[in-house]
Structure 1
Amino acid sequence: MPGIDECLLEAMRLPGARSAAVVDWVSGLALGVAGDPPGGDYEATACETAELARMVAEYRSLGPLSAAGPPTGTTPTAPDPTAQHAGTAPAVEDIITTNSDSYHLLRFVTGALDGTLFLHLWLGRDEGNLALARIRLAEMAGRMVL
């Protein structure tokens, strides 16, 4: 079972990989990094991607289709952002953000630190293969141990 460093090295071997990180989406702390981060700052990149991951993980509207919504005739409430996240791995598997020259792929790691970690892979659009990256990050997330 690979640890953080082994997973990051494996991620960096993917075609088009520019950087990879393991981030705690609750604190915004990068637990491990490899490559050159967007903007040149690992801490800022970790905080910014954690904000996106936190938003997706906390809102029910982005959860599974089988999740029961609020009762008919009631107004849905926003989640409490100060609530404890222990044992609350997000229902979302990954997040993909695209821009003109690259992809950002965030893959949630279940089971590690109560499901509050994700892998962030930054891929060059011309060299990268988004489908392959999704498959490989899913495999890495399933095997990673801390």
Structure 2
Amino acid sequence: MPGIDACLQEAMALPGARGAAVVDWTSGLALGALGEASGGDHEVTAAETADMARAAIEYTVFAPPAPRALGDLPTPTAPPAVEDLLVTTASAYHLMHFADAAFDTHAFVYLWLDRDTGNLALARMRLRDLARELVLE
């Protein structure tokens, strides 16, 4: 199982990859980053992508709450129902895939992909695999 550094190196090996990060979506901190930062600074990029991730998870239109018995409290360690987020621009794809680990995690893998040279389908599949295998060190 790859750690953060190995995960980022594999993400950057994808065709068209410009930058990658593992981000804690609750704090907005980059746990690791490699390549260019789409906003010019990895910490700013991490904070802004974390804002999007939190919004997608918190708004029920994207991730409806699981049915539960009256009086039950939500499980804070349950993985988010949202699998990934994709933002397209004229020149790039911004892809965020939530870590699907067996432990309590609030992380996602972020990839900034050049639209002309990247392969979105391949990137989505590879990020899913990387996020599933990710071990936070």
TM-score (norm 1): 0.83
Question: Partners of 2:75 and 2:131 in 1: how far apart?
Answer: 19
Which entry has the higher C-alpha Rg, 1 or 2? 1
**Within the alignment, does 1:145 sit opposite 2:131 as a pair?**
no
The 3-state SS of whatever aligns with 1:57 is: helix
The residue number in structure 2 matching 1:21 is 21
Alpha-carbon distance, 1:145 to partner: 0.8
Q: Distance in 2 between matches of 1:126 and 1:58?
A: 33
User: Structure 1 residues 144, 93: CA separation in 2 closer, same or farther (over 3 Å shift)?
Assistant: same
| Percent identity of paired positions between Structure 1 and Structure 2 | 56
User: Quick check: 17-26 or 53-62, which moved more?
Assistant: 53-62
Q: Encode CA deviations 1:49-70: one digit per residue, 9 max, x unaligned.
A: 0000000011222126x955xx
Q: Which residue of 1 is the match for residue 12 of structure 2?
A: 12
Q: Which has the higher helix share?
A: 1
Corresponding pairs, count: 131
Which 5+ residue runs of structure 2 have no aligned equivalent? Answer: 68-73
Secondary structure of the corresponding residue to residue 21 of structure 2: strand
Matches within 5 A, 1:1-146: 1-63=1-63, 67-68=66-67, 86-111=76-101, 114-146=104-136
Runs of 4+ displaced beyond 6 Å: none
1:71-93 per-position Cα deviation (integer Å, ceiling 9, x unaligned): xxxxxxxxxxxxx9830321010
Mapped to 1, the partners of 2:109 and 2:90 lie a distance apart of: 22
SS of aligned partner of 1:8: helix
Q: CA RMSD in A?
A: 2.1
Deviation track 1:76-119 (CA, whole Å, cap 9, x = no partner) reads xxxxxxxx983032101000000000000000002366231000
Q: Which runs of 5+ in 1 are unaligned?
A: 69-83
